[in-house]
Structure 1
Amino acid sequence: MSNIAIVIEERAADIGNFLVGRLLPFRQKRMVGPFIFIDHMGPETISEPQFMDIAPHPHIGLSTLTYLFEGSIMHRDSLGNEVEIKPGAVNWMTAGKGVTHSERTPDYLRSITHKLHGLQIWVALPKDLEQMEPNFVHIEEPQLPHWSEDGVNYRLIAGEINNHRSEVPVYSPLYLIEIKADKDSLIKLGEHLYGESGLYILHGSVHAEGQEFGPKQILIAKDAKLCEFEIKAGTSVYIFGGEPFPEQRYIDWNFVASDIETLKIARAKWEQHQFPEVPGDDGYIPIPPVNPALGQKKA
């Protein structure tokens, strides 16, 4: 019996002045463990006037994780943090009851053509922490656990697996693992995984249960403990997942919550300019209207 429950194809999504590949949410699978939203950015060639200029915007009820393969983003938030995100580092911002941040091309890159490529991820917070105080952590690449086995290189971006634990301060049991193969290999991780699990193919190809899968596909496992696949040399994949929450989650724009009323309050606060401001960045993104045909989107 096949352990592959769903195969998700990357879909184009417009986030303003950028088109990204939307991976989650998907109509047949709104969440994988606590992972509620994943965008694949690029690879995009950035030059004037297509710089990344995502003005201050709010979040509640989630942690954002930015992980770049190429390029750079300047992160500023209402907590006073100003950090350049470079490839291999983890930018982890927990919104809790409310935070505002902006994401822009650094000034020194605005005079040259460069690439931007990476993942932007939202991890929903447990219900009892949805109203926690916001915080921010930046972890440089050398601080992330990494190891090699039989020609396969592993990096634990966030969470915990087996005897490895990332310094990223997550709030529920989860894992985000980077796997890069130097040679054809058989990957057996099932005994170390838990909860729900998804596999995103960035480069190369994966063989599982007699089928071949390629870039820009996500495989969702029925049972994470049966996770086993063949990976070709030069392939890069990302395994993500963890324990699902007992309650459903709703999404409205950049807000995530376990009840709709919380989303309505957050929407009104942003419209009335009641969220904290980002020091050194006075931009503002107007909140889009709720689609009357969809209402609040359930995750």
Structure 2
Amino acid sequence: MDVMKVIGRPTELGGIPLLRVLPHRTCRAVGPFVFVDHMGPVEPTHMQVAPHPHIGLHTLTWLFSGELVHRDSLGTVQPIRPGEVNWMSAGSGVTHSERTPPGRPQPLHGLQCWVAQSVEHEQDPAEFQHLPADALPSFSRDGIHWTVVVGHWLEEHSPLQINWPTFFVEGVTEAPDEWDWPYPGIWAFGIYVVEGSLTVSFNGRTEVVAAGELLFIPPVRGGLPQPSVAADAGVRFVCLGGEPLPEERFFDWNFVASDRALLETARADWIAQRRFPTVPKESERIPHPSENEQ
């Protein structure tokens, strides 16, 4: 697969407008990242996503503004605010909801990602991790302020516990300049621009990446020269990726798996309202799309 630029497609979730960046018809994944939604920014509003199931993936929520409350079938009730990390591992099955706190609508802006679990762990029991903002490495270097959310970057490591080579970092440019970035060429690498634009030059090629666009650089044996990146001040972006999973991943609605049979079983179990535990103090459920066709 060649270097490519992906433009997010407008859609909505729970009453919130968003750009769906991954999966895309030309780019199904960036390393283990198989799904990226860019929510907002929107004026104060209430997001209401009722309980729904997942298997075979980690969910990553990263907010720039606003607040959401995550509830899941493990009994977790966890508000998430800008700079904090919610990382839910679905494994063999979990149910969760996401809602704006009652009475406190705020401008909402953030990213939600799915990271496929490896075959060795996609049937593990569900787990949930939350890290406060002060637990994450946050530092300025050469005119960019970095926050390391998942994995490692520039010799800094996030304390989030992961079991597959994965990285997700936020950068904000502090002054107009040009920089060389430490591109891990043996991994899949994506640059997604949230606000502003970046000019990325590498291996004799130059791309302007605007807000709402993802530049995907596939892994190359032996690596590539470090990209040169130029930008004005105040550009917000994320770098994400990791080691590609060796097996293809299949999708059915909110389910991800390396085996289609796992998807079929999960779909049947959700429709029959068995296997998947409920979220405490939640009575709603989002039906599988096929239920609406009956």
Same fold, TM-score > 0.5, yes or no = yes
Distance in 2 (CA, whole Å) between partners of 1:59 and 1:30 is 19
Is the 8 Å Cα contact of residues 149 and 158 (structure 2) preserved in structure 1? yes
Which string of whole-angstrom CA distances, capped at 9 and with x for unpartnered residues, describes residues 42-99 of structure 1? 001134xxx2111100000000000111111011000001011111100010000000
User: What is aligned with 1:270?
Assistant: 270
Distance in 2 (CA, whole Å) between partners of 1:141 and 1:238 is 16
User: What is aligned with 2:231?
Assistant: 231
User: What is aligned with 1:161?
Assistant: 153
Which residue identity lines up with residue 132 of structure 2 in the other structure?
Answer: E
Of the candidates 136, 140, 143, which is equivalent to residue 135 of structure 2? 143
Q: Could you tell me how far 1:214 is from its partner in structure 2?
A: 1.5
Of the candidates 164, 178, 183, which is equivalent to residue 170 of structure 2? 178
Matched length = 284
| Equivalences for residues 34-73 of structure 1 within 5 A | 34-47=32-45, 51-73=46-68
Distance in 2 (CA, whole Å) between partners of 1:162 and 1:213 is 22
Is the 8 Å Cα contact of residues 154 and 182 (structure 2) preserved in structure 1? no
User: What is aligned with 1:219?
Assistant: 215
Q: Counterpart of 2:246 in 1: which secondary structure?
A: coil
- Which deviates more, 9-18 or 120-129? 9-18
Is the 8 Å Cα contact of residues 249 and 256 (structure 2) preserved in structure 1? yes
Question: What is the TM-score when the length of structure 1 is the normalising length?
Answer: 0.90
Which residue identity lines up with residue 220 of structure 1 in the other structure?
Answer: F
Q: Could you tell me how far 1:37 is from its partner in structure 2?
A: 0.2
- Which deviates more, 228-237 or 207-216? 207-216
User: What is aligned with 1:296?
Assistant: none
User: What is aligned with 1:134?
Assistant: 126
User: What is aligned with 2:97?
Assistant: 102
Q: Residues 291 and 281 (structure 1 numbering): CA distance in 2 closer, same or farther, change over 3 Å?
A: closer
Which residue identity lines up with residue 246 of structure 1 in the other structure?
Answer: P
Is the 8 Å Cα contact of residues 152 and 185 (structure 1) preserved in structure 2? no
Q: Residues 153 and 162 (structure 1 numbering): CA distance in 2 closer, same or farther, change over 3 Å?
A: closer
Which residue identity lines up with residue 185 of structure 1 in the other structure?
Answer: D
Q: Could you tell me how far 1:208 is from its partner in structure 2?
A: 2.1
Q: Residues 219 and 11 (structure 1 numbering): CA distance in 2 closer, same or farther, change over 3 Å?
A: same
1:202 aligns with 2:194: yes
Q: Could you tell me how far 1:191 is from its partner in structure 2?
A: 4.8
Is the 8 Å Cα contact of residues 4 and 219 (structure 1) preserved in structure 2? no
Which residue identity lines up with residue 219 of structure 1 in the other structure?
Answer: L
User: What is aligned with 1:283?
Assistant: 284
Q: Could you tell me how far 1:162 is from its partner in structure 2?
A: 4.2
Identity %: 39
Q: Residues 185 and 192 (structure 1 numbering): CA distance in 2 closer, same or farther, change over 3 Å?
A: farther
Q: Residues 76 and 156 (structure 1 numbering): CA distance in 2 closer, same or farther, change over 3 Å?
A: same
User: What is aligned with 1:260?
Assistant: 260
Q: Could you tell me how far 1:171 is from its partner in structure 2?
A: 2.0
Distance in 2 (CA, whole Å) between partners of 1:288 and 1:241 is 30
Q: Could you tell me how far 1:185 is from its partner in structure 2?
A: 2.5
Question: What is the TM-score when the length of structure 2 is the normalising length?
Answer: 0.91
Distance in 2 (CA, whole Å) between partners of 1:191 and 1:108 is 44
User: What is aligned with 2:69?
Assistant: 74
1:5 aligns with 2:3: yes
Distance in 1 (CA, whole Å) between partners of 2:180 and 2:146 is 13
Is the 8 Å Cα contact of residues 190 and 225 (structure 1) preserved in structure 2? no
Gaps of 5+ in 1: 293-299
Distance in 1 (CA, whole Å) between partners of 2:15 and 2:65 is 18
| Equivalences for residues 232-251 of structure 1 within 5 A | 232-251=232-251
Which residue identity lines up with residue 28 of structure 1 in the other structure?
Answer: T
Is the 8 Å Cα contact of residues 183 and 189 (structure 2) preserved in structure 1? no
Distance in 1 (CA, whole Å) between partners of 2:200 and 2:142 is 19
